[in-house]
C-alpha cells in the first residue's frame, strides 16, 4: 500500500532526502518549502500524511500544525512533526499542537517506515468511515453531530509479565490521570470484555507468553479489534517490532520507556481509538436514520419496500406463505384537530408500542407514512394473518391512550386489511393493493375491524 505524502521543510536537502526515502517505498511525495505553501497544498491536494519540519522561518511547524487542525478541510490529515530537537518538552509541544506523531532528525528509516505504515492503516479505516458519513449527510440520512471531542483520560490495559516494569508504567500513567488495569493485577483478560479500553499496552519483552501471538489474537477478536495496540519494543529486536506492526499494532515505543514519550503516544492512540469510535457511531446512526421512522421507531417506507421484496422472493423459493397486515387509525384527523398535533404524535407513538408488543419477533412492523402502518408477516398464512390482525386491533382498542402528560385520554381504534402472496407471479404492488382494498372495505363496513383478501 502506498500513500500520498506531503513533506514540508525549508531546507531543500532535507526535503530531497525524505523524498528519496519515501519514494524508495513507492510512496507519492509532494514537496513544500514553507508553512503557507504547506497549508495551500494541504487544502488543494489532500495528502494522506504530512511530514512537517518544526524549525522553519516565518511560520514554524507548530503554527502550521495548529492551522491544519483548525481547518475542517485538513483537520483529518495525520501530521508527523520532524524535528532536530530531542527534548521531550519539544515533542509534547508538537502533540499539543495536534500532531499525531514525531520523528527526530536524522530520520531513522525503520522508524519512518513504521510510522508511515501505521498511519496508512489508520487512514484506511477513517477515510472509509468519513466517506460513508459524508454520503449520509449528503442524502439527509445523517445529522452532523459536530461537537464530540475524543479527548480525556485514557483507559489502558497493560500486558507485561515483568512485575517491576508493569508497576512502574502503571503508576506513571495513573499519576497522569489515566485509568490503568494490568494483566498481573487482574489475573486474566476478562476486563477487556467488560470495560471499554482505549489502548492495549503490550510488552514484546514478555517471556511467559508469545506477545506477537497475543497481538494477532487481539486484532482478530471482535471485542478488541478496534482498540489501538501500543507495543513496547527492544531496540535490538526491530524485526519483532516490524512483525507486530504488520499484524496490526498501531504504534510502538522503544525500551527503556521515556515518560513523556509514553504519555504522548498513549494520548495519541487514545485520540485515534475514540475518533474511529465517533465516526463509526455517526455512520451507524446514519444507517439507522435511513431506515427508521424517527417518530415511532418503526421501520420506514424505504426499508419496508426493500424487505418486502426480499421476503416475497424467499417465500416463493421456499414454497412458504407470506402475508401483510395494513392498518390505519380510525378518525385520526379529528384527534389532531381537537387535541393538537402533539397529542396526535403521542397517539402514533403509543400505537407503535402496542403494535410491537402484539406481533412476533420475526414480523416486521413499519410506518409507511401518516397514520398508516404495515406489518410483514413471514411464513404466515392468510388465516393466521387475520388472527394476528385481530389481536393487534383488540390491543389498540382495549384501553384509551394517555396523552399530553396524562392530562387527556383518547379512545383509539384501527381498521386493518390483510392479504397474502399468491404465487411467483404476484407482485409487490398487487400484494399491497389487495391489502389496501381490504382496509378500505373494513373502513366502509364501520371501522374498528379486520377485512381479509387472503387467498
Greatest CA separation for the chain: 89
Which candidate in 237, 371, 379, 383 is catalytic?
371
pLDDT, tens only, 342-371: 999 999 999 999 999 999 999 999 999 999
What is the SS3 string spanning the chain? CCCEEEEECCCHHHHHHHHHHHHCCCCEEEEECCHHHHHHHHHHHCCCEEEEECCCCCCCHHHHHHHHHHCCCCCCCCEEEEECCCCHHHHHHHHHCCCCEEEECCCCHHHHHHHHHHHHHHHHHHHHHHHHHHHHHHHCCCCCCCCCCCCCCCEEEEECCCHHHHHHHHHHHHHCCCEEEEHHHHCCCHHHHHCCCCEEEEECCCCCCCHHHHHHHHHHCCCCCCCEEEEEECCCCHHHHHHHHHHCCCEEEECCCCHHHHHHHHHHHHHHHHHHHHHHHHHHHHHHHHHECCCCCCECHHHHHHHHHHHHHHHHHHCCCEEEEEEEECCHHHHHHHHCHHHHHHHHHHHHHHHHHCCCCCCEEEEEECCEEEEEEECCCHHHHHHHHHHHHHHHHHCCEEECCCCEEECCCEEEEEEECCCCCCCHHHHHHHHHHHHHHHHHCCCCCEEECCC
Query: What sign does the CA torsion over 181, 186, 187, 193 have?
Result: negative
Q: Which percentage of the chain shows pLDDT scores above 90?
A: 62
Per-residue model confidence (pLDDT) at position 333 = 94
* Cα 233 from chain centroid (whole Å): 31
| Cell matching residue 132 | 460513508
CA–CA gap between residue 430 and residue 118 (Å, rounded): 55
pLDDT, tens only, 51-87: 999 999 999 999 999 999 999 899 889 999 998 766 6
Only one residue has cell 397529542, namely 343
pLDDT, tens only, 230-256: 999 998 988 898 899 888 898 888 899
Per-residue model confidence (pLDDT) at position 299 = 92
Q: How confident is the model at residue 147 (pLDDT cuts 50, 70, 90)?
A: very low
Tell which wins on pLDDT, 91 or 261: 261
Residue 220 gets the label, from left (phi > 0), alpha (psi -120 to 50) or beta, of: alpha
| Cell matching residue 121 | 492503516
Lowest mean pLDDT among 33-37, 92-96, 403-407: 92-96
What phi and psi values does residue 324 have, to the nearest 5 degrees?
-130, 150
**First and final CA of the chain: distance in angstroms?**
58
Per-residue model confidence (pLDDT) at position 100 = 83
CA–CA gap between residue 51 and residue 79 (Å, rounded): 6
CA–CA gap between residue 268 and residue 78 (Å, rounded): 11
Per-residue model confidence (pLDDT) at position 288 = 59
Per-residue model confidence (pLDDT) at position 87 = 62
Is the pLDDT at 447 greater than 50, yes or no?
A: yes
| Cell matching residue 159 | 500486558
Q: Is the Cβ–Cβ distance between 397 and 447 less than 8 Å?
A: no
Per-residue model confidence (pLDDT) at position 143 = 44
Q: Is the Cβ–Cβ distance between 374 and 325 less than 8 Å?
A: yes
* Cα 21 from chain centroid (whole Å): 35
pLDDT, tens only, 280-329: 776 666 655 678 888 999 999 988 999 999 999 999 999 999 999 999 99
Per-residue model confidence (pLDDT) at position 210 = 94
Q: Which percentage of the chain shows pLDDT scores above 70?
A: 87
CA–CA gap between residue 244 and residue 89 (Å, rounded): 28
Task: Please give the model's pTM, rounded to 2 decimal places.
Answer: 0.56
Per-residue model confidence (pLDDT) at position 455 = 44
What phi and psi values does residue 91 have, to the nearest 5 degrees?
-65, -45
Per-residue model confidence (pLDDT) at position 17 = 94
- Give me the residues paired with residue 203 across strands: 232
**Measured between alpha carbons, how far is residue 158 from residues 175, 192, 197, 247 in Å?**
15, 11, 11, 19
- CA nearest to 392, candidates 429, 353, 424: 353
Instruction: Work out the angle between the directed axes of helices 238-247 and 109-139 (0-180°, nearest 10).
Output: 10
Q: How confident is the model at residue 13 (pLDDT cuts 50, 70, 90)?
A: very high
Q: Active-site residue 246, yes or no?
A: no
CA–CA gap between residue 78 and residue 98 (Å, rounded): 9
Per-residue model confidence (pLDDT) at position 278 = 75
Calculate the CA dihedral of residues 80, 82, 86, 88 and round it to 10 degrees: -20
Amino acid at each position: 500500500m502506498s500513500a500520498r505524502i506531503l513533506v514540508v521543510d525549508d531546507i531543500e536537502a532535507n526535503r530531497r532526502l525524505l523524498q528519496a526515502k519515501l519514494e524508495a517505498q513507492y510512496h507519492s511525495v509532494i514537496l513544500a518549502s514553507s508553512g503557507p505553501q504547506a497549508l495551500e497544498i494541504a487544502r488543494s491536494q489532500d495528502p494522506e500524511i504530512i511530514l512537517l519540519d518544526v524549525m522553519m522561518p516565518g511560520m514554524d511547524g507548530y503554527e502550521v500544525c495548529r492551522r491544519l487542525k483548525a481547518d475542517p478541510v485538513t483537520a483529518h490529515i495525520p501530521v508527523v512533526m520532524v524535528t532536530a530537537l530531542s527534548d521531550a518538552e519539544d515533542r509534547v509541544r508538537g502533540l499539543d499542537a495536534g500532531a499525531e506523531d514525531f520523528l527526530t532528525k536524522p530520520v531513522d528509516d525503520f522508524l519512518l517506515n513504521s510510522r508511515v505504515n501505521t498511519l496508512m492503516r489508520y487512514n484506511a479505516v477513517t477515510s472509509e468511515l468519513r466517506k460513508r458519513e459524508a454520503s449520509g449527510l449528503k442524502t439527509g440520512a445523517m445529522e452532523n453531530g459536530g461537537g464530540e471531542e475524543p479527548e480525556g483520560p485514557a483507559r489502558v490495559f497493560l500486558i507485561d509479565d515483568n512485575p517491576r516494569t508493569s508497576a512502574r508504567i502503571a503508576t506513571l500513567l495513573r499519576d497522569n490521570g489515566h485509568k490503568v488495569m494490568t494483566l498481573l493485577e487482574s489475573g486474566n483478560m476478562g476486563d477487556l470484555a467488560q470495560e471499554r479500553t482505549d489502548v492495549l499496552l503490550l510488552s514484546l519483552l514478555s517471556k511467559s507468553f508469545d506477545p506477537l501471538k497475543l497481538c494477532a489474537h487481539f486484532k482478530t477478536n471482535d471485542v478488541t479489534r478496534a482498540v489501538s495496540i501500543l507495543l513496547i519494543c527492544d531496540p535490538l529486536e526491530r524485526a519483532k517490532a516490524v512483525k507486530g506492526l504488520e499484524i496490526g499494532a498501531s504504534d510502538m515505543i522503544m525500551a527503556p520507556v521515556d515518560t513523556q514519550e509514553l504519555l504522548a503516544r498513549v494520548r495519541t492512540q487514545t485520540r485515534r481509538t475514540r475518533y474511529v469510535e465517533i465516526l463509526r457511531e455517526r455512520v451507524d446512526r446514519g444507517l439507522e436514520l435511513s431506515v427508521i421512522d424517527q417518530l415511532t421507531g418503526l421501520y420506514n417506507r424505504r426499508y419496508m419496500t426493500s424487505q418486502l421484496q426480499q421476503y416475497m422472493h424467499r417465500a416463493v423459493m421456499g414454497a412458504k406463505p407470506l402475508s401483510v397486515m395494513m392498518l390505519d387509525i380510525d378518525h385520526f384527523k379529528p384527534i389532531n384537530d381537537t387535541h393538537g398535533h402533539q397529542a396526535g404524535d403521542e397517539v402514533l407513538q403509543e400505537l407503535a408500542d402496542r403494535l410491537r408488543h402484539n406481533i412476533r419477533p420475526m414480523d416486521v412492523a413499519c410506518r409507511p407514512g401518516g397514520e398508516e402502518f404495515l406489518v410483514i408477516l413471514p411464513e404466515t398464512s392468510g388465516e393466521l394473518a387475520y388472527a394476528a390482525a385481530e389481536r393487534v386491533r383488540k390491543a389498540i382498542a382495549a384501553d384509551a391512550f394517555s396523552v399530553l402528560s396524562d392530562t387527556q385520554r383518547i379512545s383509539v381504534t384501527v381498521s386493518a386489511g390483510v392479504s397474502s402472496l399468491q404465487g411467483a407471479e404476484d407482485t409487490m404492488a398487487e400484494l399491497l393493493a389487495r391489502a389496501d382494498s381490504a382496509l378500505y372495505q373494513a373502513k366502509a363496513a364501520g371501522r374498528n375491524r379486520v377485512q381479509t383478501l387472503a387467498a
